[in-house]
Structure 1
Amino acid sequence: MASPSSSPQRAWRAACPNCGAPVEFRSAASASAVCGFCKSTLLREGEALRRIGRVGELFDDHSPLALGTQGRFQGEGFVLVGRLQYRYDGGTWNEWRALFDSGRSGWLSEDNGAFVFSFDAPLDEPAPPADELVAGERRLVAGQAWDVASVTRTALIAAEGELAKPPNQREPFVVADLRNAQGEVATLDYGDAKAVGWSVGRPVELSALSLVGLAVASDGAEVAEKTLAARALDCPSCGAALEVTLASTQSIVCHQCKAVVDVSQGAGADLAAANRSHYGQDTPGSGGEPLIPLGATGSLGLGGPTRRWQVVGYVERHTVPGPGDDGESWFWREYLLYHRGEGFAFLVDAEDGWSWVRTISGAPQRVDGSRVKWRGVEYRMKERYIGEIGYVLGEFYWKLERGARTDNTDYTGSGANAKKRLNREQTAAAGTQEVTWSAGETLDADAVLSAFGLGPERSAAFARDAQPVAGRSGGTLAGLFVFLLLVVLVFAMVRCSRDDCRELRQLYGEASSEYQQCQRSAGSSGGSRGYGGSFGGFSSGGGGHK
C-alpha cells in the first residue's frame, strides 16, 4: 500500500464568514470552497473569504471515495480535495477533484459503473452547439475525430470541499460524453455560460490507484470496495423489507412481490420515507427462475486474470418484431456480475450460445457500413434489432423503466478471432441520448457450469449452439449433417404444440431456449426466426460522468 501523499503546497486556512468554522485551501489555484459545516459557497479574495450563496445537501450515495482519500496515478501522488454531485433523469454521479503533488489537478469521475481520470484541456476552437449534438454521430473537436456517446441534460445539485471555481447551481445544462478508438473519454460541459468546458481522460481501476482513506473499509487485498453495509427500505408495493447492498445501485427488485423500485433519487434516512417510483412485473418469459441464482459467485477470467464474480442482477430481454419478422420475437437472458475491484460485467445466455461482455470506454473505428475495428480486431455486423426489458431480478446500477427499449447491433470477429463479440446499444430517454459499446467473447456452457460450481446434471439446461454453421469444420459431410439436423428441428417445431413440448421440457428444463423456442413455435402461425441471439451489455442509462 502506498504511503499517504504529502500535501502539494502549504495549506492556507481561514474562518467561514457565515459560521466561523475553519476552511482550508491546499492549492493557491483554488478560487472557491464549500464550508463543511454550514454548506456556504465561499469565494476566495486574497486573504479573505466572501460568502456568495449556499449549496444543496449531498445525496448520500455511499461512494467508496471521500475527501482526503489519497492515491497515486501515473507515478504521482494525489489527494481528493473537492466533489461535485450531479443529477439527471437516470440518477446521480460524482466528480472528485484530485490535487497532485506537482500542483496540477484532475477529475476522478464515475462512468457506467467504473471510473475515469480526466484533465481539463484548452479548447482553441468554438465548441459545437449543445442542441446540435446527437448520440452516435461523429464530431471533430479539438482537431480530433470523436464519437458522441451521450448527450445528457443535468444539474449540479451539491458540492463540497475545495474547487477551482464556484459551483453553478442555477439551472440545468447539457453534458456530452465523447469517445474515440484510442480508448479515450472526453467531455463537453456546457454549464458555464462564458466558456464550454473540455476535458480528456482514460478509464482507471480504483484497485490500481493505491488508495488510502476510503470511505468504505477494504479487506486489505483490494481497495476498490464498493459494497457496503446494507441500506434498508420498505418496498412501496408490498411493504417487504429491502436491502440495498451496492453503492452504485439505482434500481432494486423486491424479493417478495417482484416490483421494480427506483432508489436513484434518495438515500440514507430518506430511503424509508420517500414515496418511491416503482412498477409491478408480469411473470418471467422464461417460465422459471434464473439458471444461475442471484448471489452465486463464479471464477471467470473475463479478458484478464480469473476473478470471483458475483451475480447481483438478472435481466430477461426480448426483441420487438419488425417488418418481415411475422410478428415473432425471441428472448435472451443477461446476468449482471459484480467484482469490487473490477466493477461490472454481463454473462449472456442467448439461443446461439453463452458469452460475456463488458462496457468499453472508447468507441470502435468504423471501417465501412458493416465493419468496425477495435483494438486491432476487425468485426463484421451480424444483425440489428430492437430489444426490450421483459423481467428483472436483483440490483442494477442504472434506472430501470417499464418498456425501455434499445436499438442493438451485434458484431462478430472472424478467423482466429471468431469468438470475439461486440455490441452497440443506443437509447433515448427523457433528457438523455446514449450509445454504449460492449466487448467480450463466447463461452462454452461447460465453462459456465464449472465456474459457478453447478453439477453436471444441469448441463442439458445450459447447452447452447454457439458456433455458426459457416465456421464449423468437417467439410461437406458435416455441413450436410447440420443441414439435415436443422430440417428435422424445423419440422419438429412446426409440429409442436404447447403440450407436445413436454419432452423438450423434461430433457432441457423449463427455462431452456429449446423448450421456449418450441413454445413460441407452437403459439405462432408464422415461421420461426431461428436461433438468433444478443451479445448483451445493457446500456446503463446511468453512471455517466462529466
Structure 2
Amino acid sequence: MFKLACPSCGAEVVFRSPTSAMAVCEYCRSTLLRDGEAVRDAGKMSATLEDYSPIRIATAGIYAGRRFGVVGRIQLRYDAGFWNEWYILFDDGGTGWLSDASGQYAVTLDTGLAGDAPRFEQIVPGGLYRWDGVAYAASDLRTARCTGGEGELPFRVGEGWQAKVADYRQAHRFLTLDYSEGDTPRRYAGKAVTLADLKCQLLRSPTEIAASAGKLPGKAASLECPACGASISWRPAAAAHLNCPACGTVSDASTGTVEVMQAVRREALASTTLALGDAATIDGEPYTLIGLMRRRTTGSGEGWTEYLMFSEGAGFLWLVESATGWQKVKVLDVFPESVSASAVRVEDAAYTRMDSYTAEVTYAAGAFNWQVKVGDKVSVTEYVGGRGSLASERTAAEITWSRAQRVTAAAIGAWFGKPALASAAVASAGEGRGDAAGVPREALYGLAASFSAGLLFLNLPIALFGRHGGSVMFLVVIGLLLLWAPLFSDRFGGDS
C-alpha cells in the first residue's frame, strides 16, 4: 500500500493493491495512472450512478476462506440495463471481481487466457464450454460500455471503454469469458453467491441507499413522462426502465436523466387486480408494486398479468395472475442441472418438462430493472416437480431460470390488505381452463402421453415375450386407465 497526492486537487489517493494500474480520485474524479511510485493525470472519469446495491468501497467479506475488501468499481451499461463489477483485494494479496446485477452476485478469479474458447460471435445461449472437467452452459452474452468508475482498478478504463463478455453457468458455478482485449478471451471462474454467503460487513444501510439511489452530482431524475407529462412512479436506479401507463412511451433513466427510447401510442389496459404503487408485506418484507405487464402465448391468445414487486431489503419478486390463479415467482441464483432431455434438478429436487411456448409482451406500464417493450418475445420452457414449477426464458442474448409457487387469492389479499380478493374471481387474466393445481389442460395431455409412451416402452417387451406376459399386460392396461380416466372424465363430464 502507498499513498500520494492527486496532481489535480491535492487530495490523498491510496493504492492498496500492488497490481492496481489506476485509481479514481474521490474528490475531483481524476483518473490517475500508476507508473511505479508515481502517477499521472489521464483526465476525468464519469461518476457512477448510485443504485440500490448495498455494496460500497470498503465493504469486506470472506470467499472460499479468504478475507477480502472492495477497493474499486466499474459500471457497465448495455442496451437493456447496467451492472456493477466490484474489484476486490484479498488479505493474501490476490484479487478478484464481485459481479452485482439486480441483486444477483458472483465472485470470479482470473484463471488466465482461454485459448480453447469459441469466438464471441459463435456463442449462443445454452452453448457449452468445457473447463476443468465441467461443462458450462452460456447464460448471458453482452457487449457493454463503461459509464463510470471509482476507486482502484487493475487496468485502465474510461467512458466509452467496451466490454464483450459471455457468462456461463453450471449449478452454483460461474464462469466469464472476457473478450474486451481481443479474440482470445481472459477466463474468470468462481461461483454465484449471496451477500450472506460472503458474510459481508460495512454494507450500506437501507437508509443510506434510499438517500442516494439514482443520484448523480448536479443531476436529478425526472418522474414525468417526457412524451405526455404523465407521472411515472419508479425506483431510481433499481428499476430505471420506464413504461408510461398513460401513453406507452418507453424511457431509460439509468443515466440519471430520462431518455425516450420508443414513443408508442397504444390502447389503455382494462383495470387490473393490483395497481402500480400498491404496497404489500410478503414473507415479512415490505414490497411495492413498481411495474406490470401483460403477456400471452403466440398463436393461442391466452394471456396473463405479471406484477413486478420491489423491496429495498429483499430485492425483486414477481406475482403472476392467470386464469388458473396466482403464483409467486423468484429468479433463481443457482442454475438447474440437466438430468435428461426432459428433466432437470435443482437443490436436490427433480422437475419434469411440461410445456414449451413463445410468450409475447402485449402491455407494459411502470418501472422495470431491464428494458421492456410491447412485442418483446421469449421462448419459455416449463417444468413441474414436488416443490412448485420451474421456467426457463430464452432470448438471443440470455437464459434466465425462475421458480414459481402457487399462492391463494386469500394470501394475495392478506399481503396487500385487500380482503375482497379472497372471495373475488380472478380478474383480467385471459381465457382458458386448467386443472385444480393450475396446470393447463393441453400440457397435462402432453405429459400423460409422455408417461404412457415410457410405460409401454419399458413393459411391452416383457408383456409380449416374458414368462408372465399376461399379468404384466393387465397391469399396464390398468395403469393407463388410471392415468387417462381423470382427464377424459373432466373433458367429457364437465368440471370436477
Instruction: Provide the C-alpha distance between the structure 1 equivalents of 2:349 and 2:484, rounded to a whole number of angstroms.
Output: 29
Aligned residue for 2:178? 189
Which shows bigger deviation, 393-402 or 240-249?
A: 240-249
Instruction: Provide the C-alpha distance between the structure 1 equivalents of 2:380 and 2:483, rounded to a whole number of angstroms.
Output: 33
- Quote how far apart the aligned CAs of 1:334 are: 1.0
- Quote how far apart the aligned CAs of 1:407 are: 0.8
Partners of 2:126 and 2:139 within 8 A in 1? yes
Residue of 436, 455, 460 corresponding to 2:400: 436
- Quote how far apart the aligned CAs of 1:458 are: 5.0
Aligned residue for 1:96? 86
In the alignment, structure 1 residue 451 sits paired with structure 2 residue 415:
yes
Aligned length: 445
- Quote how far apart the aligned CAs of 1:13 are: 1.3
Instruction: Provide the C-alpha distance between the structure 1 equivalents of 2:160 and 2:287, rounded to a whole number of angstroms.
Output: 42
Partners of 2:50 and 2:213 within 8 A in 1? no
Partners of 2:234 and 2:290 within 8 A in 1? no
Describe how 1:236-315 pairs up with structure 2 within 5 A: 236-255=226-245, 257-267=246-256, 270-271=257-258, 274=259, 277-284=262-269, 287-288=270-271, 290-301=272-283, 306-315=284-293
Change (3 A) 1:382 1:487: same
Change (3 A) 1:355 1:195: closer
- Quote how far apart the aligned CAs of 1:45 are: 2.1
Aligned residue for 2:371? 399
Describe how 1:42-81 pairs up with structure 2 within 5 A: 42-51=32-41, 53-54=42-43, 56-65=45-54, 67-74=56-63, 78-81=68-71
Instruction: Provide the C-alpha distance between the structure 2 equivalents of 1:47 and 1:21, rounded to a whole number of angstroms.
Output: 17
Instruction: Provide the C-alpha distance between the structure 1 equivalents of 2:152 and 2:421, rounded to a whole number of angstroms.
Output: 59
In the alignment, structure 1 residue 482 sits paired with structure 2 residue 446:
no
Change (3 A) 1:35 1:307: closer
Partners of 1:232 and 1:244 within 8 A in 2? no
In the alignment, structure 1 residue 110 sits paired with structure 2 residue 100:
yes
Change (3 A) 1:362 1:206: closer
Q: Deviations over 1:387-420 (max 9, x none)?
A: 111112221101112311111111111xxx1x51
Instruction: Provide the C-alpha distance between the structure 2 equivalents of 1:347 and 1:379, rounded to a whole number of angstroms.
Output: 21
Aligned residue for 1:329? 301
In the alignment, structure 1 residue 412 sits paired with structure 2 residue 384:
yes
Describe how 1:333-412 pairs up with structure 2 within 5 A: 333-412=305-384
Aligned residue for 1:524? none
SS of the aligned residue for 1:80 comes to strand
Aligned residue for 2:454? none
- Quote how far apart the aligned CAs of 1:422 are: 0.6
Structure 2, unaligned stretches of length 5 or more? Answer: 428-433, 448-481
SS of the aligned residue for 1:121 comes to strand
Identity of aligned residues (%): 29
SS of the aligned residue for 1:232 comes to coil
In the alignment, structure 1 residue 466 sits paired with structure 2 residue 437:
yes
Aligned residue for 1:426? 394
Aligned residue for 1:203? 193
Partners of 1:63 and 1:215 within 8 A in 2? no
- Quote how far apart the aligned CAs of 1:149 are: 0.4
Instruction: Provide the C-alpha distance between the structure 2 equivalents of 1:195 and 1:426, rounded to a whole number of angstroms.
Output: 24
Instruction: Provide the C-alpha distance between the structure 1 equivalents of 2:491 and 2:233, rounded to a whole number of angstroms.
Output: 51
Q: Which amino acid aligns with 2:347?
A: R
Aligned residue for 1:127? 117
Q: Deviations over 1:14-41 (max 9, x none)?
A: 1234554432112223232123345443
Change (3 A) 1:60 1:243: farther
Q: Which amino acid aligns with 2:179?
A: Y
Q: Deviations over 1:417-470 (max 9, x none)?
A: 1x5111011113xxxx11111113222333223332322465232398434587
Instruction: Provide the C-alpha distance between the structure 1 equivalents of 2:108 and 2:3, rounded to a whole number of angstroms.
Output: 28
Partners of 2:108 and 2:188 within 8 A in 1? no
Instruction: Provide the C-alpha distance between the structure 2 equivalents of 1:179 and 1:109, rounded to a whole number of angstroms.
Output: 14
SS of the aligned residue for 1:380 comes to strand
Instruction: Provide the C-alpha distance between the structure 2 equivalents of 1:475 and 1:200, rounded to a whole number of angstroms.
Output: 45
Aligned residue for 1:519? none
Aligned residue for 1:515? none
Instruction: Provide the C-alpha distance between the structure 2 equivalents of 1:336 and 1:77, rounded to a whole number of angstroms.
Output: 36
Instruction: Provide the C-alpha distance between the structure 2 equivalents of 1:70 and 1:163, rounded to a whole number of angstroms.
Output: 16
Instruction: Provide the C-alpha distance between the structure 1 equivalents of 2:51 and 2:487, rounded to a whole number of angstroms.
Output: 56
SS of the aligned residue for 2:490 comes to helix
Q: Deviations over 1:334-370 (max 9, x none)?
A: 1112222221121111223322221113322222222
Describe how 1:140-219 pairs up with structure 2 within 5 A: 140-167=130-157, 172-181=162-171, 183-193=172-182, 196-205=186-195, 209-212=199-202, 214=204, 217=207
Partners of 1:258 and 1:393 within 8 A in 2? no
Q: Deviations over 1:506-531 (max 9, x none)?
A: xxxxxxxxxxxxxxxxxxxxxxxxxx
- Quote how far apart the aligned CAs of 1:91 are: 2.5
Q: Which amino acid aligns with 1:466?
A: A
- Quote how far apart the aligned CAs of 1:242 are: 3.8
The two structures have a TM-score, normalised by structure 2, of 0.78
In the alignment, structure 1 residue 232 sits paired with structure 2 residue 222:
yes
Instruction: Provide the C-alpha distance between the structure 1 equivalents of 2:61 and 2:248, rounded to a whole number of angstroms.
Output: 43
SS of the aligned residue for 1:363 comes to coil
Instruction: Provide the C-alpha distance between the structure 2 equivalents of 1:140 and 1:84, rounded to a whole number of angstroms.
Output: 28
Aligned residue for 1:317? 295
- Quote how far apart the aligned CAs of 1:478 are: 6.9
Describe how 1:1-40 pairs up with structure 2 within 5 A: 11-40=1-30
Instruction: Provide the C-alpha distance between the structure 1 equivalents of 2:486 and 2:132, rounded to a whole number of angstroms.
Output: 54
- Quote how far apart the aligned CAs of 1:264 are: 4.3
Change (3 A) 1:58 1:226: closer
Q: Which amino acid aligns with 2:75?
A: Q
Partners of 1:92 and 1:264 within 8 A in 2? no
Partners of 1:345 and 1:356 within 8 A in 2? yes
Q: Deviations over 1:444-502 (max 9, x none)?
A: 3332233323224652323984345879xx999976763445489xxxxxxxxxxxxxx
Partners of 1:43 and 1:166 within 8 A in 2? yes
SS of the aligned residue for 1:451 comes to helix
